[in-house]
Amino acid sequence: MTSAKKMSFKKSRDIPIYLMILPALLLIILFNYIPIYGVSMAFIDFSPYRGIFRSEWLGFKNFAYFLTDDNFWRVMRNTIIINFYQLLYGFPVPVIFAIMLNELSMRKYKKFIQTVSYLPHFISWVVAAGIVSAVLSPAGGLVNNVIKGLFSMEPIYFLAKEKYFRTIIVASNIWKGFGMSAVYYLAVLSSIDPEYYEAARIDGAGRMRQIWHITLPGIKTIAIVLLILQIGNMTTIGFEQIFLLYNPMVYNVGDVISTYTYRLGIEQLRYSLTTAIGFTQSIVNFIMVYSANVLSRKIAGWALW
């Protein structure tokens, strides 16, 4: 068979694969690329009646407005602080859990614990927020019942106290997501050659030395990937969790960019302003993920690109 015929055969063989990819490609173009023109709403005084092309051009006035607005900087501060706490306390939890689970020798208990740990991931935030509210409720909640029984204290309305709210947000987010995040690390741990551990045991290395010299280097790559992605979302936070748990009494510490833009866009119909905020948020996220990638390449010698 000539080289031309071989190339023609390979191309015809790849056609079914291209056809399988086509629907996904069309969906990406339809829902991710075509709507990009909507970013132009950030530079106009958008009116649903006039449309994008007939609305008044404002330039950077929307950007100047929210960058000089005290409310915006308040929600920006809350967003970064909550995300920083989630990075500080939430990032190590699945790593530690995966390593501890990997050290279990009894497969039945290991599978049971793993299943229980990632079940909350599949619960919607509507249900999860209901569970958190019920556990922390001042009227018969588990936590308040324990406090009352042990210390004879009055019930505490945790979700209405500023000093508790961020802790509740971070803790509930860790509880809901650490099990699923641990799955990525467990998948990498399962690919480590067991002979490394056997050789380490022969050389007299204990459990901690095996973890330090074999397990941690083995999960370094996936840990860096997840860390870079999490840093890239420092100005983004889940809307549903905050929206379902917060109230006006904790706006000062719990109101974030997503809930702020919701009130501006849906309740006050200020579409152009919210588009400008979202556009700025995307730019900041891109800068942060790019910076994290550069630092990772310099410090760890490995990066996403």
Look up the CATH number of the domain holding residue 74.
1.10.3720.10
> Residue 71 falls within a domain, yes or no?
yes
Whether residue 104 sits in one domain with residue 87: yes
Tell me the per-residue pLDDT of 188-224, one tens digit each, with 9 for 90 and over: 888 888 888 888 888 888 888 888 888 888 888 888 8
Global pTM?
0.83
Whether residue 163 sits in one domain with residue 28: no
Tell me the per-residue pLDDT of 238-247, one tens digit each, with 9 for 90 and over: 788 999 998 8
- Cα–Cα distance measured from residue 230 to residue 173, given in angstroms and rounded to the nearest whole number: 13
> Residue 125 falls within a domain, yes or no?
yes
Tell me the per-residue pLDDT of 150-179, one tens digit each, with 9 for 90 and over: 877 788 899 889 899 999 999 999 999 898
Whether residue 173 sits in one domain with residue 222: yes
Contact assessment for residue 298 and residue 279, using Cβ atoms and an 8 Å cutoff:
no
Tell me the per-residue pLDDT of 225-241, one tens digit each, with 9 for 90 and over: 888 888 888 888 878 89
Q: What residue numbers bound the domain in which 182 lies?
A: 66-299
H-only helix segments in the chain: 3-28, 61-67, 70-85, 92-103, 107-118, 125-136, 142-151, 162-189, 194-202, 207-210, 216-218, 220-231, 239-245, 251-254, 257-262, 271-299
> Structural domain tally of the chain?
2
